[in-house]
Amino acid sequence: MKSLHLFYKGILFLFVLSGCGKTLTDTNISPNTLLAEQVNPAFIMTQVISGSTMTMGLTEFAGNTTQSVLSAAMQYVQQDFSGIAITNTFGWKSGDWAYRQFYLALSNAAYLETRATGAADSAFFRGVALVMKSYWFGYYTSSWGDIPFSEAMKGTEGVLKPVYDNQKDVFKGILNDLETANATFKKATSVTTFTQSADILFKGDVQKWRAFANSLHIRFLMRLSEKTNDMQAIGVDVKSEFNKIVADPVNYPLIVNSSDNAAVYFPGTSALDSWPLGSFNQPDPSVYYRLKPGEPIVNFLKNNHDPRLTVWFKPVDVPTIIRDAGADEVIMKDTDGKVKRFLKTYQEGVDTSLYVGLKVALPNPDTYNKKTPAAVNTVKTLDPSIYTAGAANPFVSYLASMFRDNTNTNLPVVFISASEVNFTLAEAAVRGWISGSAVNYYTQGISASFSQYKISDGDNKVYNPGTHQIEAFDKNGFLAKAAAAFNNAPDKILPIMEQVWVADFTSVEAWFNWRRTGYPNLGKNIVSGPQGEKIPVRFFYGANEKNFNGDNVNAAIQNLQPAVDDQWSKMWLIQGTGKPW
């Protein structure tokens, strides 16, 4: 896992290069600029990785209300104070690829591929380009449906209105590119020191890039689990291709240890290179406070005595205790000097846990857990250090303090992780695609997630909901209990998807897996959704595409079921599957 520091050093070096070393052929070139073909492809590679990091960081979890909607859809968080109609109740806006240059990471990856030819480290650059193109094409088609692929990024060739390829053909092309990427990296027998320094993901480690490529390969093969017959008809044997990769780790290495995750963290030296929710980018803390944990993820972690609960979330600022303190409700300092709320008798709907998440799609989340303006004012008077400004609810948990940091090694952007790969292998074993122990892959996936968040055996990070105490983590006991539950599960896909949902916290991947399998059943948690228990299954095309490439966009819309461009229509990937609803 690397940081973005090298990107900014690289840009500085680029400007240094532009002002020196002039030759006769440079006479008409400004000393403060470089032509595109003069830029070292290493700088382009840095831009591809750093741009992908920032774009995905904003999309997955830390963006504004219109950028980051999937974290609420997957019930990791809910929002109060503002933006509720967009996030909590799925009033999504159109997904315009031009919005904040969302297309740029893919465009730069495509450009890197063209510049790789004839360059030093050309095989390495081409491999990187193919991997990052595949990553983004896979994300785009999984999110929207039919997209430009065969004619994408060909504006310089005069293709200004690219066709929208059928989704199955896009996936076939992605799988071919990832196979090519793995083979291309084999030709990169060595990587120059300069290129290594420009690679802010793996420092020029070819083997890790190959593992990234192959891990993406099995991700997308598993994404096609409900469409194997359709893919077979166009020449892709999903099961055999998956088995071929897993059965040959020498030629197809995978990311199986969290230390090898394809992840980049933010160094946090300025707003340009900081975690988007940190103080550099969000001076107003209410932006952080309005994102509150969702009750489903909080309760799942609590019920399983999972240490990730205390890593990701804070206990409530003001605990609620059922004890007669005189009136029906009393907020005061207890004998330990801490502010607490005392209720004479239990009141329906009140959560007395130290970790409280917001219910999903509440009509008025601002008042959850019996919050009132008077109660907040009392808390403020008793202890001014407790946050009581915009979006405050001292009776509901907040995200952990690390989410306000400008940099934190627990908050990288993860393109793909060892936990995901192991869970994918577990599912493949359950489906009979590969040999090997499904339960071992399953527990290795859980263990990899713990490692990703630096959780070790014996850490005092486990909340006991019965005693309200923080206890030591018994890792072996936790994994043994998880293995027993897995072995006893009638449908073993369910526990895998539950752990995928947990491990993918802050990631978009849980949405794709929930949509594909219907697990976990998140719809049942919705209190007041616009379509009952339904959660959106796609983004819809933006205005720019419709205005400038209307015929091809409209043809793509006709392939949806129903043929309506909204977040509720099903793309080919889930049509006819009965999933997720």
281-333 per-position pLDDT tens digit: 999 998 899 999 999 999 999 999 999 999 999 999 999 999 999 999 999 99
Confidence of residue 27 (pLDDT cuts 50, 70, 90): very low
**Does residue 552 register a pLDDT over 80?**
yes
- Give the span between the Cα atoms of 464 and 59, in whole angstroms: 33
Positive/negative CA dihedral, 382, 383, 386, 387: positive
Return the pLDDT at 93. 76
Residue 499 amino acid letter: Q
CA distances to 77, 88, 300, 302, 358 from 361, in Å: 11, 5, 18, 21, 9
- Give the span between the Cα atoms of 80 and 289, in whole angstroms: 9
Between 10 and 257, the higher pLDDT residue: 257
Residue 455 amino acid letter: I
Please give the share of the chain, as a percent, with pLDDT higher than 70: 93
DSSP 484-542: HHHHH-SSTHHHHHHHHHHHTTTSSHHHHHHHHH--S--GGGBSS-TTTT-------B-
- Determine the longest span between alpha carbons in the chain, in angstroms: 90
- Give the span between the Cα atoms of 218 and 216, in whole angstroms: 6
- Give the span between the Cα atoms of 41 and 114, in whole angstroms: 10
Cis status of the peptide bond prior to 296, with omega within 30 of 0: no
Q: 387-406, pLDDT tens digit by residue?
A: 999 899 999 999 999 999 99
- Give the span between the Cα atoms of 278 and 243, in whole angstroms: 43
Distance from the Cα of residue 301 to its chain's centroid:
19
**Does residue 67 register a pLDDT over 80?**
no
**Does residue 143 register a pLDDT over 50?**
yes
- Give the span between the Cα atoms of 357 and 74, in whole angstroms: 14
**Residue 456, helix vs strand vs coil:** coil
- Asked if residue 173 lies in contact with residue 150, where contact means CB atoms within 8 angstroms, the answer is yes
- Give the span between the Cα atoms of 94 and 540, in whole angstroms: 5
Return the pLDDT at 8. 37
Return the pLDDT at 298. 98
Segments in 117-200 forming alpha helices (H): 122-144, 167-186, 193-198
Please compute the mean of the pLDDT values over residues 73-91 and round it to a whole number.
89
Neighbouring-strand partners of residue 460: 472
62: DSSP letter: I
Neighbouring-strand partners of residue 343: 322, 329
- Any idea of the CA torsion for 499, 501, 504, 508, to the nearest 10 degrees? 160
Mean pLDDT over the full length of the chain: 92
**Residue 366, helix vs strand vs coil:** helix
CA distances to 41, 130, 153, 202 from 114, in Å: 10, 11, 11, 22
Q: Which two tokens stand for residue 353?
A: 């846990």
- Give the span between the Cα atoms of 320 and 350, in whole angstroms: 8
- Any idea of the CA torsion for 555, 556, 559, 562, to the nearest 10 degrees? -100
Cis status of the peptide bond prior to 520, with omega within 30 of 0: yes
Return the pLDDT at 21. 30
What is the b/e burial string over 306-337, where b = at least 16 CB atoms within 10 angstroms of the residue's CB? bbbbbbbbbbbbbbbeeeebeeebbbeeeeee
Q: Which two tokens stand for residue 505?
A: 């916290």
Q: Which two tokens stand for residue 222?
A: 């598993």
Return the pLDDT at 394. 98
Please compute the mean of the pLDDT values over residues 176-204 and round it to a whole number.
97
Return the pLDDT at 532. 96
Return the pLDDT at 24. 24
DSSP 286-355: HHHHTEEEBHHHHHHHHHTT-THHHHHBPPPSS-EEE--BSBSEEEEE-TTS-EEEEESS--TT---SSS
- Asked if residue 259 lies in contact with residue 211, where contact means CB atoms within 8 angstroms, the answer is no
- Asked if residue 279 lies in contact with residue 407, where contact means CB atoms within 8 angstroms, the answer is no
Confidence of residue 33 (pLDDT cuts 50, 70, 90): low
**Does residue 17 register a pLDDT over 60?**
no
Q: 364-391, pLDDT tens digit by residue?
A: 999 999 999 999 999 999 999 999 998 9
Closest CA to 419 of 440, 447, 438: 447
Return the pLDDT at 10. 37
Confidence of residue 103 (pLDDT cuts 50, 70, 90): confident
Return the pLDDT at 205. 98
Q: Which residues contact 349 (CB under 8 A, 6 or more apart)?
A: 369, 370
